[in-house]
Structure formats: structure tokens, C-alpha cells
Structure 1
Amino acid sequence: MMDYRRRVIDDVLDELVAELPAIELHGPKGVGKTATAQQRARTVMRLDDPRERELFASDPARIRAADHPLLVDEWQRVPESWDVVRRAVDDGIGTYLLTGSSVPLEAPVHSGAGRFVTFRMRPMSLLERGFAEPTVSLGDLLNGSRPEITGSSRHGTRDYVDEIVRSGFPDIHGLAPRARRHRLEGYVDLIVTRAFPEQGLVVRRPGVLRAWLTAYAAATSTTATYQRILDAATPGLSEKPARSTVTAYRDVLEQLWMLDPVEAWLPGRNHLARLARAPKHQLADPGLAAHLLGADQSALLGGGEGPVPNLRDGTLLGSLFEHLVTLDVQVYAERSEARVRHLRTADGAHEIDIIVERPDGRVLAIEVKLATTVTDHDVRHLTWLRDRIGDDLLDTVVVTPGPHAYRRRDGVAVVPAALLGP
């Protein structure tokens, strides 16, 4: 594929495909799973094609005779394909890549544990969009060496706003504004009118689901309760949807990988007491959230909230910028085999936007600030955490839309979002 745009996960796949018999890539529609898997597949079986499904049903064992590596695309359309691949792997036959845009209604008989390795693909990070050349490596920050922080970026707040509304979906990012708005609207409509029924839930009141999605987008980068989100979605509605209905909405959106919440960090070493457990809400893509909220460049730069519920402390732009940075960190952390969490004490006195946790439990703490200058007040939660967990804190970072990367005298790294890479 001559126009393929290389992704960060390609480095991981290049290493693992030769070593592992079965790898699954899952994530929302349109993030590029198929294109990425095709880079290392010799044969492609597209199970979203009725003819391919019929061929598979007539002779499932044909996957063994294919030219390998074999890509089984949209495997969830024929859930038994998972077990067919698993048996082939058990017999030592072939190398397989599977891609899926939803969780199948009927789970495979066997989980695939010990045979399948799974990765979530997300929309493109700033690096993958070709936005800038990074000078600060998340991997170096995670190794505890406290690397030198240098570099300058010519990008400012307006450029990040542009990237937020452009979306990280590869086929949407490069479109002109009008075409982009139509594609994003079509994406939302596809989810409501087709994807939900395919997951076994016919939406009888699509307007309520759309309102709930909009309220969820308004809660971006917050831990607002689901009841608050529902109330914001249905103001003045005398007959609100039942809790079971809203729970079903959320479950299906999770099955479609449309929600990408940041779970709370709960350290196993008991350094901290009384940490909040609520996840931080984020959709799969900040551009999708901006579209649902009707927030274009001028609205975000003007600071206007528009006719949408305000479930945040601070501006909508601040919440969406945090979402954009979190997306980048999620993509880069995958290469370092690290998990992304957030921290908030139960009383709300301290919170840190992003905690990146290594497998050994040591962490990198990241704050996201929309201001281009960083003050002592901006780093107070980072220094608080340093005092609490000591050497288990690998490094501290503030990510901004500012121009320069450097270390403050207190050791906190200040990094423009454009300059952060894997």
C-alpha cells in the first residue's frame, strides 16, 4: 500500500509477528486496523463480505492452507472463526492476524488466553499525523534516567485546536472542513442506526442516544457520574430513559470501542490512602467529541460553551486538549508496555491528569495545562505525589501547547505536546 501512514504500533507488530502465532487488533471503526494488519499479511479473509463469510462457512479449514500470515478481518462477524484459528494455532499451523471493530454477540468457546495477544488501536497520535518531530521520548521518561529535556515547537494553541477538530481517524483527518463535518456526522449516524442493531440493540429513541453521547462528550476528561450525564442529556424530559436503557447504551458503546475511559490508578504498594475509583470519561477520539458538541475552531478559541451541558471545571478546550494529549500517551505507552491511568484523591484535594504505570508499579506523572507558561501552582500536585511515593515516581511532566521543552529548577519537565513521542 503506497500511501500507508506508519503507526507507532507497527514497531511492536514488526517485532512480534515473527514470534507469536496469533495477534488481534481491536478498536473503533476507521482507526486503521485493517491497513496496519495488511502490511504484514500475505492473505486477507474479509468476513464483513458476505461471499467471504459463505466461503468460510463451507470450509473453515481453508484458513490452514492459506498463504500465511493470514489476516482475518472483522472476525467478530463470524465468532467461530476465533476458535478455528485457535485450533490451528494449537496444531502449530500458520500465523494469524485478526482485526475486530466490536465485541461479538456470541463469545468464542475459548478465550484464546495463552495463544492470542491483543492490542487496542486508537486514532492517530500527533506523531502519526505528521504534526511535528518529537524530541522527548515517553520511553526515556519511563526508564527513570531523567533525560535532558530540549526542543522547540513552532506550533501554538490554534494549531492544536485544528488537530482536535480534524480528528485522528486516518480517512477523515485530511478532509476539508465541510467534508470532515459530513464524515463525522455520518460516523455518528452509522453507530446509532447500524452498529447498535448489529450489537443486538435497536434504538427506539435515537434522539435520546444522541443526547446522551453529547452529554458524555461534554463530560470529557472529568469523572462526572453517569447520573449527572443522564440528567444533562435529558433536561426537562418528563419520562427519562430507564437506568437499564442507559446502561445498555454504555455497554454497546464499549463493545464498539467508542468509549476510551481512563481508569483510576490504584497502586498496589499502599503509598496512598483514599483514592477515588471513578474513571475519567473520554470518547475514542477528541474530534468526535468536538463534533458532537458542535465545537469548531472559532467556538473553541472563543471559549464559548454553546448550548451543551457544562459538566467540567474549566473550559471545553482545556478538556479536549487533555483528551488529545491522553490519546497520544495511550498510543506511545503501548510500545513501552505501560498502562495509562489517572489519580484523584477521594476528597478531590489532589488530582493528576495522567499516570503512566510500568509493569513493576513505578510511575510517570503527567499534568496537562492549556497555559503556555508553567507556574509553581501548576506543578503542586506533582510535587505532592513526589513527596508521597518517593523513588516509585520515575519523573514528572507538564504537557502544554507552549513553544519550548525544558526542565524547571524543581526537576519537573515541561514539554510541548508536539514534542512528545514514543
Structure 2
Amino acid sequence: MEWNLLYFGAGESSILECEYPLKWNAAARKGEAKMIQHGSLKPRGYRPRISDQLLRELLDTFCAVEVAGTMWCGKTWTSLSFGESETRVGRPNVRRIVEADPETALVGARPHVIDEWQDVPALWDAVRDAVDSGELAHGSLLLTGSSTPTKDQVGHSGAGRIAKLRMRTMSLAETGESSGAVSLAGLFQGSFEPHLVQQGLRPLAQIICRGGWPALLNADDAAAPRYLDAYFDAIFDVSMAKRGFSGGDARRVALALARTVGTSAKLETIGTDAFGEETATASASKRASRYVEAFKALYMIEEVPGWDAPVRSKSRLRVKPKRYFADPSLAANLLQVTPERLLVDGQLFGVLFEALCMHDLMVYASALPQAQAQPVRYYRDSDGLEVDAIIELRDGRWAGIEIKLGENGVESGFAALDRLRRKIARNPAARNPEPAFMAVLVGAGEFARYDAGADAYVVPLTALGA
């Protein structure tokens, strides 16, 4: 747990002491963005997050907001940056008091932060009751959680009372490793300017193995494996054990997921890989399913659903979701790869680069004004066409994005996007909208540019922002 204390201490860590500009937001760069009002508990050296604006909006709308995400992604610091008082439920002496009387955790100046509320699940119902009482003003309570309690531990879902903000590890725009010169929101609005980027592969290999963990921003390459080992020790030996799972089996299932990251591998495939060929298919599938659901509840993995243009299409439900880890470094650590190995294993590099891109796209897309609850999907059909990422907004606008490690894959990316465009337009009666834009997201690249022949953009990941 010392890693957690290192990051969430009272700002002593030098890696977070510098002011950090809002480089990722086009409106902010032009001085048009609203200033975000923070609280008195804002940690010294806090780096603004893309989710800050959305959190501010939720606090202005709801009496209570839960900030949820995998442990160590920065939930506590972000929540404290808006807070005026706090209760740290994770501390043993505090937990004993709150277990005896959950309402004591709600006492304090508003907004009041309740950190790691899931350690005392009865707190959820206490917050729900406080909201229902009508005595709380908007933005009164901020809960942070790194896991979802089982249904039998809480009496109410919180729907309509407690808003939820999904937080992820830092994107490249937040760490400062993307210029944010190409705004995802701007592309939806038809705004784009070409930029010289000149991005190579080696820094991307290092980023994949280090991840977007706030505590590792200025750490050397040797620190990342130790940090991620500690993360998995906490997940497998503590969090999963609390839920009644075997830590050893959890590691095996996680490794099987890492081997199939970014795919829609069947649960029986995951189970057979984890538990051995001799395990019966049905048994392997059932065992794997339990672990996968637990990992989802701990926000360690995230599923990306399928997409089809007609909003009522049944194929949206038929296409199996792809699975990614909360941060690409988790898959890299489980597979025991280093930046040097990625540079000589192009296939594995490509798989983990896709995971990095999907991670950042989910961060950026979640901040779009018309973002859906699951803003990023993928496309696959019976003709063998697959497009890596589809971003669809509530107003019907959508974009198709292909992911390629280098410029040598751009033409095939263009071809897939063109096939998708033609398929969507094939049935005029369906009245499917034209894409707002198409793009190929690349790792190594010289320019962020528009290709008129393909009617698509080419954008290095280190130039993309919200």
C-alpha cells in the first residue's frame, strides 16, 4: 500500500508539484473555457484532469456524485480538489466508527468527500437516504470507489439519487505526452489544422509499459514493474480474496485476458487457458465468467460493445464486447514485456498500442458534450469488416477510427473506413447519417493531416486531445 500513500499523501511527492496547463482542450487554449471552481482541499501540485469539467457539472446537478475507477487512477485527488472536508473510510479507526454509525461519514463542510466508501457498503444507503430527505443541496457529497459492492450489500442502486463519473488513468494529453493539437471535439465540429508531429515508436513503447498512473509520471522505467506488481498484489491477494476468490486463479484468468486483450474471446477460451485443457468447457466458462465479472466490479477491465448504424439494430446486442484493461500497462505487466521487447515484437506492440489508443479515446470521448454512457464502440460484421473504434454521440453524429502502429498501415486503414462508409450509405431507406469524420490514429507519424482522396484524417496519438 505504500504506493498508494506515496501518491495520495499531502502533496509531498515532487512528481506533482508543477502547475499544468489545460493543453488538451481547444476552448481552454483560446481562453473560452469556463474556469473550474475548486475546493479548499485541492492538493498542492494537482494536475487538472479532463474529467474535472464533467465532475463540476455533475456537482451542480446532483446532491451526491460517485467518482469510480480502478485504484490508484487519481480518484481521491480529483475528488479532494473539489472538496471542503473529507472522511477517509479506508483508515481502520475511521472505518470502525462508520461501521457503527454510517451517518457520521456524512458530517462535514460541503462538498464533503467520502473516500473508499465501499469499505462500508451501508454508507451507500445512508447517502441515498440523505438525498431523499431533501436536506442536501446540489454538490453536497462526493464518494470515491474502486470497486462495486455485490448487490446483497446495498439496498438501493442509487439511480436518480447518486450520479456516477467513471474515471480512468491519465491520457497522454493529461500527462503532457500529447500536444492535444488535434481536438476530438473539434473534429466533430469540422475544425482541423495540420500539424508537424514527428513521433517515433520508442517513447510509445515506454508509455505503454509505464501507463497513465499519476504516481509514475516522472519515475524511471525500473519503477513501473514494481508499482504494477504492487497493484496486482493488492487486486489478487486483497480485493479478490475479500470477494471469496482464489488469488492464484485470479492471476491465471488475468493472464488469459492479457493474452487476448482487445478481442472478444469467448469465456470458455479464457477459462480453458486459465484452468487447463482438462477442464470441462462449461465449467471453464462458468469459472472464468465469475472472475471476469469481479474484475469489472473492481474496474480493472473494461468492455467495449459492438456498434451498428441503425440505433435499433439487434446486431448491437449480438456482437460480443471486446475487453481491455483499465490501463495498457496492466496487460504489459502481466505479459512481462519491456519497451525493448515491444520494439522487436511488432505484433504485440500493435496490440498494446491499440489498447493505449482505446484508453485515450474513452477518456476524450467521455468529455464530449453529447457523449453517451458508452461513447466508444467497435464495428464488426459477417463480411469480415472490422473498424477499431466508433464514437457515437447522442445527437446521432458518429465517427469511425482505425488504429495503426505506423504509416505503413494507413492505406489499409483508409480501405476499411471506406468500406464502412459505403455500407452505411448502401440502404437509403435506413437514413443513416454520414460520418462526421473518419480518421486513422497512428503511433509513429510525421504529420497530423487530412487526406482528400480518402476523405479521412491521419492523426498521431501524441497530437490527439479532447
Fold shared, TM-score > 0.5 on shorter chain: yes
Partner of 2:143: 98
- Alignment counterpart, residue 420 of structure 2, candidates 359, 365, 385: 385
Partner of 2:180: 134
What SS does the aligned partner of 1:278 have?
A: coil
| Number of residue equivalences | 406
In 2, Cα distance between equivalents of 1:165 and 1:86: 40
In 1, Cα distance between equivalents of 2:349 and 2:389: 17
Mapped contact 2:308–2:316 kept (Cα < 8 A): no
Partner of 2:37: none
Partner of 1:342: 378
Partner of 2:3: none
In 2, Cα distance between equivalents of 1:242 and 1:366: 35
Mapped contact 1:345–1:351 kept (Cα < 8 A): yes
In 2, Cα distance between equivalents of 1:260 and 1:19: 27
TM-score where L is the length of structure 2: 0.82
TM alignment of 1:15-414, pairs within 5 A: 15-63=57-105, 65-90=107-132, 91-94=134-137, 95-105=140-150, 106-142=152-188, 145-203=189-247, 206=248, 208-234=249-275, 242-269=284-311, 277-303=319-345, 315-336=347-368, 337-338=371-372, 339-347=375-383, 349-373=384-408, 375-390=410-425, 391-401=433-443, 402-409=445-452, 410-414=454-458
In 2, Cα distance between equivalents of 1:389 and 1:238: 43
1:296-318 per-position Cα deviation (integer Å, ceiling 9, x unaligned): 011110117xxxxxxxxxx1111
Letter in 2 for 1:222: T
Pairwise CA distance, 1:354: 0.4
Letter in 2 for 1:184: L
Pairwise CA distance, 1:199: 1.9
In 1, Cα distance between equivalents of 2:459 and 2:314: 27
1:108-146 per-position Cα deviation (integer Å, ceiling 9, x unaligned): 21222112110111111001111132111111223xx32
User: Mean alpha-carbon deviation: is it higher for 103-112 or for 256-265?
Assistant: 103-112
In 2, Cα distance between equivalents of 1:270 and 1:10: 33
Q: Closer, same or farther in 2 for the Cα pair 1:200/1:236, shift >3 Å?
A: closer
Mapped contact 1:166–1:174 kept (Cα < 8 A): no
Letter in 2 for 1:341: R
Partner of 1:307: none
Q: Closer, same or farther in 2 for the Cα pair 1:65/1:231, shift >3 Å?
A: closer
Q: Closer, same or farther in 2 for the Cα pair 1:76/1:183, shift >3 Å?
A: same
Mapped contact 1:83–1:110 kept (Cα < 8 A): yes
In 2, Cα distance between equivalents of 1:61 and 1:411: 58
In 2, Cα distance between equivalents of 1:264 and 1:104: 27
User: Larger relative contact order (C-alpha < 8 A, sep ≥ 6)?
Assistant: 1
In 2, Cα distance between equivalents of 1:343 and 1:175: 37
Q: Closer, same or farther in 2 for the Cα pair 1:58/1:405, shift >3 Å?
A: same
CA RMSD of aligned residues (A): 2.3
Pairwise CA distance, 1:395: 0.9
